[in-house]
Homo-oligomer: A and B are copies of this chain.
Amino acid sequence: MNRQELIAQIQQKKSFLCIGLDIDLAKIPTHLLAEEDPIFEFNKQIIDATHHLAVSYKPNTAFYEAYGIKGWQALEKTIDYINTNYPELFTIADAKRGDIGNTSTMYAKAFLEDLNFDSVTVAPYMGSDSVEPFLAFENKNTILLALTSNKGGVDFQGLKTENEELYKKVLKTALTWKNSENLMFVVGATKAEYFEDIRKIVPNHFLLVPGVGAQGGNLHDVCKYGLTKDCGLLINSSRGIIYAGTNENFAQEAQKEALKLQQEMATILDSSW
């Protein structure tokens, strides 16, 4: 999927919602556990109930790897289901990978080619040749960790390097890499005040923003500084949506929560466009 298709979808749905499919068998409704593949069945019903309200879905690979081969099969079935039934959706493999060149190429192939995700999240610590193999894929996006929303995020990302914080150096350096137009960046919502500075460095790139809701971030604060003329934001919510309900009605409960966020987003987009 290219950038224009993503923007067109945001305009049409008046939403920049990304739904995180972070599956935990201990949290999904118990009646699904009798299904042959409870994880896929859960995802399928969540996606069917919310696909018109969200523009993006983001399975975090950790939650699938934790279930071994069955988890990996559920991940494959989930991405295939989205690509077959809702090809307009922007899919993100939240994998936070990154390795030396030839190894990163294997990861890129796994997520962008074989599983056919539109994008994958990547950690920057190993530098240019660990990220460029992902950037080489046409019409695919690489979402680089810049400023994360967790407590430990400040440990290194906040360190001053040559008079500016490491995460700013990551943003600036990444822009010099080959095919950097295929980059997006992860920027945590719990640090809304940083978005102003970040937009000075990356005025047009899309930012994937986790941390709204469960992690305490505020949608309006993020939009105040982060929104661009093309929207330029994907706001992720995982637990707040997918675990809103705990019984047979879980998909409708998820839909209600997604609708609330979509309506807030529509209001924000209407007043900015």
Contacts and interface: CB of A to CB of B under 8 A. Distances in A.
Nearest to A101: B150
B126 A66 contact: no
Q: How many interface residues does chain A have, given as a range?
A: 35 or more
A127 B107 contact: no
Interface in A124-178: 124-131, 145, 148-157, 159-162, 166, 169-170, 173
A67 to B, nearest CB: 8
A72 B159 CA distance: 37
A158 B114 CA distance: 34
Interface in A159-213: 159-162, 166, 169-170, 173
A68 B107 CA distance: 11
A106 B180 CA distance: 31
A41 interface: no
Contacts of A218: none
B98 A126 contact: no
A230 interface: no
Contacts of A153: 126-127
